[in-house]
Structure 1
Amino acid sequence: MALKGILSSEVGVHASASKWFNLFAKELHKVQNTTDRVHKTRLLEGDDWHSIGSVKQWTDIVDGKESHYKERLDAIDEENKTIVYTLFDGDFSKDYNIFKLLFQVIEKNNGAFIKWTIEYEKVNENVEPPYGFMDHFTKSTKEIDVFLLKA
């Protein structure tokens, strides 16, 4: 069994690609108001939420349990509507040496696709791939889409 892996999921959404990318690139602090799966967020390091290298603390519900972790913003590619994060500490550090999250918005007629990709390295072979976190991101996407359609 390999320690490194990649999970990927695409979710069709109805809100425009620009609304989606703007939320994650410029208004990430609002995500906690868009889904019940995110309970609390706060900026720990950096000038603002959207500067490269900024670090945030997140409290989410994953697999029915409260999960705490930190997230660092690594890159924003506006042309390709892609954002790269590293998730670490808290609940991640016991199971994963590396946990990269790639968020990409793919334009389509009448909406967009949101593509989530998780690149991970488990601490040992007994750790399951992060299916619960992928499920969390997929289900949150559907809830956030409802919020963006009303905005």
Structure 2
Amino acid sequence: MSVHYKLEAYVPINAPADKYYNVCKNRPHHLPNISTERLQNCQLHGGGSWDTHGHGSIKTWTYTIGGKANQSFKERVEFDDATKTITLIGLEGDVFKEFKLYNVIFQPIPKDSSSCVVKNVIEYEKLRDDGPDAHRYLDFIVGITKDVEAHLVKA
């Protein structure tokens, strides 16, 4: 019987929710320049351009985690503009050596006009009952969130 797991981290940042959402939704190809230690590349699939990508777009990320470089993650993205939620639905990549299911959800929740709390969620299902959990991936996502914060504060 398969068990679905969910990990969450709430990260307060000194940037407005709208700005955080805008970077992650409309400028994902800039994230490798913002989080250079973690992300190396973001490739858009299926034609189109970064100016026209949207709900349902498919991207492949190249990243480094736990000292392992050149890891890949292919995802389909979903946006909910009303709640500023971005869902990355895992399609293939290195995470699937450990997990049957792997999805990431980001949601910046406004605190005031200049800050928010970013809710980071990983939903996953292990390949094996005794397999690893996804805590290192949650730490990875939190690191990217903090890198985006640093970028927005500098801007």
- Alignment correspondent of 1:32: 32
Unaligned runs of 5+ in 2: none
- TM, length-normalised to structure 1: 0.91
- TM, length-normalised to structure 2: 0.89
Unaligned runs of 5+ in 1: none
1:97 offset after TM fit, Å?
A: 1.2
Identity %: 31
1:2 offset after TM fit, Å?
A: 6.3
Coordinate RMSD, CA, aligned: 1.7
Equivalent-residue separation in structure 2 for 1:41 and 1:57 (angstroms)? 6
Q: Following superposition, which runs of at least 4 residues in structure 1 exceed 6 angstroms of deviation?
A: none
Matched, 1:104 2:107: yes
The answer to whether the 8 A contact 1:71-1:86 is kept is yes
1:10-89 → structure 2 map (5 Å cutoff):
10-36=10-36, 37-49=38-50, 50-66=53-69, 67-73=71-77, 75-89=78-92
The answer to whether the 8 A contact 2:4-2:124 is kept is yes
1:22 offset after TM fit, Å?
A: 0.5
Distance 1:127 1:48, change over 3 A: farther
Equivalent-residue separation in structure 1 for 2:150 and 2:116 (angstroms)? 13
